[in-house]
Amino acid sequence: MGKMIISDDIEVRQNEDLSRYSTFKVGGRADFAAFPKNAEEFKSILFSLKENGQRYTVIGNGSNVLFDDDGYRGTVIFTKYMNNTEYIHMNDKIRVRAECGKSITELAFEAGKKHLLTGMEFAYGIPGSVGGALFMNAGAYGKQISDIVVCTECYDTASEKQMTISAPEHHFSYRKSAFSENKNLIVLSSVFELREGEGGEIFDLMNKYMKNRKEKQPLDFPSAGSVFKRPADGVYAGKLIEDAGLKGLRVGDAEVSEKHAGFIVNRANASSKDILELIEMVKDKVYGSSGVRLECEVIYIPSE
Ligand SMILES: Cc1cc2nc3c(=O)[nH]c(=O)nc-3n(C[C@H](O)[C@H](O)[C@H](O)COP(=O)(O)OP(=O)(O)OC[C@H]3O[C@@H](n4cnc5c(N)ncnc54)[C@H](O)[C@@H]3O)c2cc1C
């Protein structure tokens, strides 16, 4: 394990168990885990690690990643303490600035309940952070984060500069963004545009979406949501997997969910290796039965 050189004020832990920070509940130990509380701390960590040639990765809520059983050689930067929000009223428009670690489910709830703002209901129930949602262009029920983004404050670790990018500069497409295409670009905070709404309607919609999730998704087991991307418009990975007869297929404690074939669940003590093996089996079998090559949505983070 190397040394990590950053300011004394910033919380850094050694030998941290990554399974605690992944919704799959899988992963070994990271050499270092850093927890910035604001953009200045975040930038100073990124700067120090780069100057010292040390490996790092950034994690929001860990709901779309699969950590390695051998953990992570380097530093995992967790943004969970960067969760401030600010509401900006501009004539008839209302914008909210949220730091990268803010939970999008909490943001949707806060905007809807406290501020009676509509436009984020779709995000209620997605267990991601603002940074992770921008990276993945997270979406549900026909809406995506790209529909409401005005601009994002980011830090470019290549040029070591902070900048604001406009909505078109995010280059959003299905589960892709400027951040997934250029890993040097790190989200610090983002501004979303919402509208004044009617409290009852906002709540009805959020409750409807949550009810739907509880009915259709295996929320009682750890998972990372849908494992595969939608192969094409109107073609669903879950349906192809179900049609191939793969519901219930297991490697160790990793299982293709009986409730929703697009999910792989950790039934108890699945390893990262079990999950990766099951993903490959599913890909092969679906290709054999349908000719469709599934692409992983979940991001595997190798130990080195
Ligand atoms: C039960 C369940 C249901 C789900 N339902 C949905 C759904 O309906 N729709 C959907 O789209 N997704 C869904 N997901 C997947 C997941 O919640 C989303 O992809 C979410 O946006 C990931 O956010 P996160 O903060 O957890 O990202 P993480 O898993 O922490 O990270 C994902 C990627 O984003 C990068 N990243 C994180 N923060 C930053 C940052 N500040 N700057 C740059 N890069 C960053 C990471 O490096 C990583 O590459 C679901 C997951 C679960 C477990």
CA pair distance 115, 195, nearest whole angstrom: 10
Asked whether residue 65 falls in the same domain as residue 133, the answer is no
Quick one: 204 and 91 in the same domain?
yes
In a domain, 60, yes or no: yes
Q: CB burial class (10 A; 0-12, 13-18, 19+) of residue 242? A: middle
Q: Do 110 and 85 meet the contact criterion of CB atoms below 8 Å apart?
A: yes
pLDDT category of residue 5 using cuts at 50, 70 and 90: low
Q: Which of 38, 126, 183 to mutate to test the pocket of ligand 1 (most atoms within 8 A of CB)?
A: 126
The pLDDT of 297-303, averaged and rounded, is 98
Ligand 1 centre from 132 Cα, in Å?
4
Are 59 and 156 part of one and the same domain? no
pLDDT in tens, 52-77: 999 999 999 999 999 999 999 999 99
* pLDDT given for residue 93 in this prediction: 80
Q: What is the pLDDT of residues 190-213, one digit of tens each?
A: 999 999 999 899 999 999 999 999
| 12 pLDDT more than 70 | yes
Position 182 scores a pLDDT of 97
CATH number at residue 262: 3.90.78.10
Q: State mean pLDDT over 126-136.
A: 98
Residues of the domain holding 278: 218-301
Instruction: Look at residues 62, 78, 94 and tell me which one is the last residue of a structural domain.
Output: 78
Asked, for residue 194, whether it belongs to a domain, the answer is: yes
Q: What is the CATH number of the domain that holds 122?
A: 3.30.465.10
- For residue 262 and ligand 1, the question of a CB distance below 6 A is answered with no
Pocket test for ligand 1, best of 59, 75, 275 (most atoms within 8 A of CB): 59
Confidence at residue 1, expressed as pLDDT on a 0 to 100 scale = 59
Known catalytic residues? 175, 226, 297
Is position 231 within any domain? yes
The answer to whether residues 103 and 125 touch, using CB atoms and an 8 Å cutoff, is no
Query: Of 20, 47, 78, which one is at a domain's C-terminal end?
Result: 78
Q: What pLDDT score does 2 carry?
A: 58
Query: Looking at 48, 78, 108, which one is the last position of a domain?
Result: 78
pTM of the model: 0.97
End-to-end Cα distance, the chain: 12
What's the total number of domains in the chain? 3
The answer to whether residue 5 sits within a structural domain is no
In this structure, are 162 and 179 located in the same domain? yes
